[in-house]
Structure 1
Amino acid sequence: MTYTEEKPDKPEIARPILEEMPELLCPAGNMEKLETAVAYGADAVYLGAGDLNLRSAGAGFKWEELPAAFELCRNNNVQAYFCVNAYPKEKDLSKVRADLEKLAKCPPDGLIIADPGVLMLASEILPDISVHISTQANTGNSEAVKFWKKFGATRVNLARELSASDVTDIAGKAEGMELEMFVHGAMCMAISGRCFLSAWLNDRSANMGRCTHPCRFEYKATGLRVEEKTRPGQDVWEAVEHEGYTEFFAAEDLCLVHYVRMLARLGVASLKIEGRTKSSSYLAQVVDVYRTVIDRAKKGGPLPGNAMEELVNAATRPLTTAFFKSSGPSTIAQPPSKEERKPVVARVLEQREDGSWLLSVKARWEEDCDVSILIPGLKRPLVASGDYSFAATNGEPKDVIHSGTQAVLRCDHPDIAPGLFIRKETPKN
């Protein structure tokens, strides 16, 4: 597992304590992911239901689940923002109105909107709900921020194509408007997600929440090395083959964990993690990192020593600072190999009457390996292979349990608790 990173400040360097820290805004693609985000420290979550959020194809709640989701958030002092951030066509406006009228009966804390027409309908049907402008609107300058403020928005998610200098300039001119930024997760090869590849290839529009992610598909390269006319002898674009195929459209994943303190000083109100379609196992690791980093920064502490290790372990693509850095290489980490990765193997559901723990198994788990418990605050206590045992839910002893099943864990470690995840640390011999 290798990565390069900006070195965190040395412990002896004095850092000011920051009074105001950004909100940590996390994805919630279903109830388990919502519970995970809350357990690992989200200040706010974003979620969707129906056909008009940009993850409608694979990550959304049923309408009847929303009351319970919002109640969970309220009980944990977590804000819930509802996504209505598709770009509807004329034929879709009746759906927009119907969805907003459903929300009026069970209102969230905020709406995430990209389209001006949706904003107009929201101001009519849900006039008292805060409106946050989606990254899909591609807000890249202070005049655009003022435009959205004029029409009732209280927050703008800035375009992911901005540099640190751009963000600094906008922050200095965004008086009276909250700024939000994505700091971690998947990037799009199009401008802030406005892509037509999926619509063209599979008749499923990314701008209506039905993206099939053709940028992640594997393509066979048949002579894809090109020069540009004014740059003779220079290869401008090249598709590199891996076993005959290449993911040449796929962007690297964003990672701005080293810039949390800087963004806090600029007054950025919310730091957002992408990933409503990612697994709850991924979410537990990433949310835990950013929660801990924000809390450390507030107290003047350095970046936790295991922060990048945790993010790299969760990564499936290279991590990058993308456009944020104006110079130097932007790739800061490579995903681990299969042999290096420490897979999350289970989520703890509840404690049974006999003191054992009911598990939701996420990956094959053999009894002869050490594991760690993912405790919020980047604590990773080790449980040795001889200190636990498995059983089926009917009590039958097991020496291996499999993904997609439930199993029983017998272990007396004091840190195990419902909602936490367990990760394999050593491979089977």
Structure 2
Amino acid sequence: MKKPELLAPAGNLEKLKIAVLYGADAVYLGGQNYGLRAFTDNFTFEEMQAGVDFAHKYNVKVYVTVNIFFHNDDLNGLIPHLKKIAEIGADGIIVSDPGIVMLARKEVPELELHLSTQANTTNWASACFWYEQGVKRIILARELSLQEIKEIREKTPRDLMLEVFIHGAMCISYSGRCLLSNYMAYRDSNRGECAHPCRWKYYLMEEQRPGEYLPVFEDDRGTYILNSKDLCMIHKIPEMVETGVDSFKIEGRMKSVHYVASVIKAYREAIDTYFKAPQNYKFNPQWLRDIEKSSHREFTTGFYFGKPTGLDQIYGNSSYIREYDFVGLVVDYKEDKKLALVEQRNRFCVGEVIEFFGPKGESFSQRIEKLWDENGNEIDCAPHPQQRVMIKTEFPVSPYCILRRKRDN
């Protein structure tokens, strides 16, 4: 069996570095234009170059999104954009528009073409069609079962790579083709500006009773009727591997550094553990516990084992479950003094119990006995955003180690 690539989201340069260090085989990111996440930080070309250089140093690949549904005006400036991505040295681009497939093959043939899930490829015949157009990888529609994916793998050329989502937010609309945002907020989700109306609370109004709002109930649990649970397949790694796909994709370019680190490390360990001894593989519940420490919704297996039911929706609210706060990131570590230089991300103080969670090894928790500012002055709290403080640690840590605190601590 070929070990699938673990593909991580990179919403900005810091998240890219975290994804690489915590175990990703590849990352995907968006430039300032043409991607479906217009409201994340995204990358300037200078940041993209730095990201590609950093990733390639660790033999990690970089794919760039160019996957909006293009209108005529969007084509202005596209070719220079594609040529710059190729010049930077990215490994491929993610596209959804057949016109862009045509233009990219002509103008930047050195870039691999990956077909976005937005193109909703749901059968082997479509996959073969795109292969003949020069597409090297297809990101399959999320609406497929594991059995359907196996059949697509069996009936397509082996050098056509297949990619599937394994974790992250689910879209209520077929392969993300949603018009709700256009209609209700004048923001085109297919051009990167989704307002996420599927997460809103809804009421009914009868035509002859204007202004008289009737609540929409689903088993008396609430009115968030379009609000899907998040996909999580950490406990189904063997079943996912057996489909024969080439890449496992994590959703979340708008998610936090904490999310990227927690999810990538858990799936990295699960995949590696399986491939060490498939016959003796056992799921480690700690992987799921670590994932749950980052912000998340309730989990579902999506379409993989059959069509979702009412149990795959969240009706009571649209908020995330947040049991831990991301409070800091290690910048440097002085081993001789056991002192970590930490950049604050949320306020924390002396006396609190903090968990240190790093790219390698086991996490550990300790009570903060003392804090110092960068000048060596003892302080009680780190209240300022991105304030740098020093903490004595019980065990060695490394740069990009995450500090998190349980909320009821």
| Contact 2:296–2:321 (CA under 8 A) maintained in structure 1 | no
Deviation at 1:59, TM superposition (A): 3.5
266-275 or 88-97: bigger deviation: 88-97
1:345-372 superposed Cα distances (whole Å, 9 cap, x missing partner): 2111223797633322222223212222
Taking the aligned partners of 1:427 and 1:393, their CA distance within structure 2 comes to 29
**C-alpha separation in 2, matches of 1:135 and 1:269:** 15
Q: CA deviation at 1:382?
A: 2.2
State the 1:238 CA deviation: 3.7
After TM superposition, the structure 1 stretch with the greater mean CA deviation from structure 2, 205-214 or 291-300, is 205-214
Call closer, same or farther: CA 1:223–1:409 in 2, change over 3 Å.
Answer: farther
1:130 paired with 2:112, answer yes
1:284 positional shift: 0.8
Among 95, 99, 108, the alignment partner of 1:117 is 99
Which residue pairs with 1:144 in the alignment? 126
CA pair 257-403 structure 1, distance change in 2 beyond 3 A? farther
Whichever residue aligns with residue 353 of structure 2, its letter is: D
- 1:51 aligned onto 2:28: no
What does residue 186 of structure 2 align with?
A: 203
Q: Which residue of 2 aligns with 1:422?
A: 403
Q: Do 2:368 and 2:391's aligned partners in 1 also have CA atoms closer than 8 Å?
A: no
* Letter in structure 2 aligned against 1:366: C
Higher RCO (CA-CA < 8 Å; seq separation 6+)? 1
Tell me how far apart the structure 2 counterparts of residues 258 and 332 of structure 1 sit (CA, whole Å): 20
* CA distance, structure 2, for counterparts of residue 340 and residue 29 of structure 1: 20
Distance between the aligned counterparts of 1:120 and 1:194, measured in 2? 22
Q: Distance in 1 between matches of 2:329 and 2:323?
A: 18
Superposition RMSD in Å: 2.8
Counterpart of 1:72, as a letter, is F
Q: 1:292 to 1:403 in 2, by over 3 A?
A: farther
Checking the alignment, whether the CA contact within 8 Å between 1:292 and 1:377 is kept in structure 2 is no
| Structure 1: segments with no counterpart, 5+ residues | 1-18, 225-236
Deviation at 1:239, TM superposition (A): 5.7
Decide whether the 8 Å contact of 1:49 with 1:56 is kept in 2: no
How far did 1:49 drift? 0.4
Quote the offset at 1:122 in angstroms: 0.7
State the TM-score, normalized to the length of structure 1.
0.84
Give the equivalent residue in structure 2 for 1:291.
268
Greater mean alpha carbon deviation, residues 416-425 or residues 246-255: 246-255
What is the correspondence of 1:116-265 to structure 2 with a 5 Å cutoff? 116-176=98-158, 177-217=160-200, 219=201, 221-222=203-204, 238=217, 246-265=223-242
Residue 307 (str. 1) matches residue 292 (str. 2)? no
Matched, 1:98 2:75: no
Distance 1:220 1:133, change over 3 A: closer
CA contact 2:146–2:240 (8 Å) conserved in 1: no
Partner SS for 1:306: helix
1:4 is matched with none
- Within 2, Cα distance between the matches of 1:40 and 1:89? 38
Specify the SS of the correspondent of 2:76.
helix
Contact residue 104 and residue 125 of structure 1 kept, 8 A: no
TM-score (norm 2): 0.88
- One-letter amino acid matched to 2:188: S
* 1:223 CA displacement: 5.9
Deviation at 1:107, TM superposition (A): 2.9
Unaligned runs of 5+ in 2: 207-215
Q: Residue in 1 aligned with 2:55?
A: 73
2:179 alignment partner AA: F
Q: State the partner residue of 1:11.
A: none
Cα distance change of structure 1 residues 376 and 304 upon mapping to structure 2, 3 Å threshold: farther
Count residues in correspondence. Answer: 392
Q: Aligned ranges for residues 309-348 of structure 1 at < 5 Å?
A: 309-326=289-306, 331=312, 341-348=323-330
From the superposition, tell whether residues 414 and 111 of structure 1 become closer, same or farther in structure 2 (CA, over 3 Å): same
- The AA in structure 1 aligned to 2:38 is S
Amino acid corresponding to residue 181 of structure 1 in structure 2: V
Report sequence identity in percent: 33
Q: C-alpha separation between the residues in 2 aligned to 1:363 and 1:107?
A: 36
